[in-house]
Amino acid sequence: MSEELAYARKASGLVRGLSMMDAFAVGFMNQGLTPSIWVTISLGLGVFLGGNLIIAAIISAVLAGIGFPLVWGILGGSMPRSGGEYVYNSRIIHPVYGIAQSFGDAAIWLMWLYVLAPLAVDPGLTITFNYLGWTGASNWLVSATWHTFLIASILNVIGFLFVVFGIKIFARAQKVVMVFGIGGCALIGVVLTFTSRAKFMSKWDAAATASGVHGPTYHAFINQVGTAAGQVMPTHTNWSATLGTMVAMSWLFAYAYSIAFIAGEVKRPDKSIIWANTFAILVPFVFMMWFAIILYHTVGFQFLNASAWNDNNGPIASMAHMPYGSNFIDLAVYVIGTSAWYTRLAAGIMGFSYVAFTVWWLALSYLAFPRILFAWGMDRMGPKWFTDINPRFASPVKNHILCLVLGQALLILYYTLLQNTMQNIVLTGMQVTSVFIPTAIAAFWFPYSRRAKGVWDSSPYKKWTFLGLPVIVWGASVDMVYLCILLYYFIVHNAATATFTGSSIILFVGIWVAGIIWYYAWSAYNKSKSGMDISAVTYGELPPE
């Protein structure tokens, strides 16, 4: 059977125009530095009081820093095609496995749109406007549901526009957004680094006792949060809680895998992809360690646990008239205040860092989802228009538009019917079970798979061995240790809180079942058209570049 018959196109139409730095930026920006540190502290410590951020960061960086670059780097360098892990899993394990798993991933990227666009509005824009002194605008955003929905929809469209006009425009915009995001996050770190414990306590107490505020002083805040939480705020490390904190911290270490979706558009993929994955984990690790050390030094272990619980579960009643909340950005703003124009500007830059990373997460959904459909289309596992590439932008524009329509529909559902039934930490659980674990299994099996023998034999990493075993096997093994820790604390220790319900499990399983049905329906359709099993050819090799 000729390649022309087997595949939907003779060539992908995508262009290898991205450098290693561009690939790193895709992975790094999907780690979402500022909002992910927020989630790590507020959700991580808020659920697992007594967790040690320093220890959790070191364990995460060792396990994820070894496992993820080896798994995703070697798979991406061996099969440098855009479309994500669907390409790897379908070639190594079985096409139905690849389709079912990537159905889950496609759904996840869509659902992130309705989770993240609202977060970009509140708390993103609300805290930023509040820091700048635009309290009227901040209050307007949350004064009515349709206000929040309107701004979330605008941000959703902005994310779409960043990507639809092609990978070159996307890469340029990404550099600009990354500068603002990193710059604002670094400014938070600098403020906290040069603040002593005594100075922080003084600034907090001054805000609490200002005229008309009647807020909790530093020590009163710790005690009052302890009363609300039903326990004394911990003063020392709890090892089980430390491992549990890694679930929220995975936002900083597990999401550089997004590089897989542009593997067919990266120059020198054999080197660029693995290094980009590595650096996209190391940089967030450096920031997380920096913040963990300075926060314990500046605000204290007990106060940080109290601030995290209050931000995640509160706020306690006495915080009602405090000028800011207790998230980690707020803690830095208490130090500098917002009485002068330049401190308001500095605080606004800190808040905007959260917005920049969150909006770029939307853009990355518009990067990933269309390329999943594109990869299916190349294998004739979907309509041929999935593979249409706009000649001007070298971009699957039709797929982008479909993603926009579906994403906006989910936003409408979120603000009308769904209303908090599926939250970000549950999507993290879906990603562990539908993306990371299935791909780690495929990576472990890659050197031994008969189906992928030709791909493995031509892999630039075939001779990479350690103690007699292929390096990718070691990487997959370390990866699985990390993922099992996340899964254990996600399910057994209820890191998902009340949002992980029976309906969540039904959703997990239902998406995989839908993917299986999709595969067999398209296999039957292709066979009826050609009279042959096209998948026997398409899944025996890589699609054309």
Per-residue pLDDT tens digits for 234-282: 999 999 999 999 999 999 999 999 999 988 888 998 899 999 999 999 9
- What number of CA atoms fall less than 13 Å from residue 77's CA on the CB side? 23
Task: Judge whether residue 13 has pLDDT over 80.
Answer: no
| Pairing mode of beta strands 465-466, 469-470 | antiparallel
Helix and strand numbers, DSSP H then E, in the chain: 25, 2
Q: Is 300 left (phi over 0), alpha (psi -120 to 50) or beta?
A: left
Average pLDDT of span 180-195: 97
Q: In whole numbers, what is the pLDDT of the chain averaged over residues?
A: 90
Q: Does residue 543 sit within a domain?
A: no
Per the domain annotation, does 545 fall within a domain?
no
CA atoms within 13 A on the CB side of 195: 28
Rounded Cα distance, 359 and 524, in Å: 40
What residues contact 332, with CB distance under 8 A and at least 6 apart? 187, 188, 191, 192, 347, 350
User: Is residue 74 a part of any domain in this protein?
Assistant: yes
SS3 call for 31:
coil
Q: Does 78 reside within a domain? A: yes
CB atoms within 10 A of CB 211: 5
**Four-CA torsion 318, 321, 325, 326, nearest 10 degrees:** -40
**466: β partners:** 469
Burial of 405 (0-12, 13-18, 19+ CB in 10 A): exposed
Q: What is the pLDDT of residue 421?
A: 46
Q: Give the CA diameter of the chain.
A: 82
Decide if pLDDT at 544 tops 80.
Answer: no
Residues 6+ apart with CB under 8 A from 485: 63, 243, 246
Q: How confident is the model at residue 538 (pLDDT cuts 50, 70, 90)?
A: low
Q: Reduce the secondary structure of 162-218 to three states and give it as a string.
A: HHHCCHHHHHHHHHHHHHHHHHHHHHHHHHHHCCCHHHHHHHHHHHHCCCCCCCCCH
**354 falls within a domain:** yes
Q: Domain for residue 144, yes or no?
A: yes
CA distance 105 to 2: 31
By mean pLDDT, which of 6-15, 190-199, 369-378, 458-467 is the weakest? 6-15
Contact 272, 266 (CB under 8 A): yes
CA dihedral angle for residue 217, residue 223, residue 224, residue 230, rounded to 10 degrees: 170
Question: CA torsion sign, 59 to 359 to 357 to 167?
Answer: positive
Does 544 fall in a domain? no
The answer to the question of residue 429 being in a domain is yes
> Which of 60-69, 320-329, 397-406, 485-494 comes out lowest in average pLDDT?
485-494
- Give the pTM: 0.92
The enclosing domain of 179 has a CATH number of 1.20.1740.10
pLDDT at 419: 59
Which stretch of DSSP H or E encloses residue 470?
strand 469-470
439-460 average pLDDT score: 93
pLDDT higher at 508 or 488: 488
Predicted local confidence at residue 2, as pLDDT: 46
Domain that holds residue 507: 3-538
Overall size of the chain counted in residues: 545
pLDDT surpasses 60 at 422: no
Looking at the 3D structure of the chain, how many domains does it have?
Answer: 1
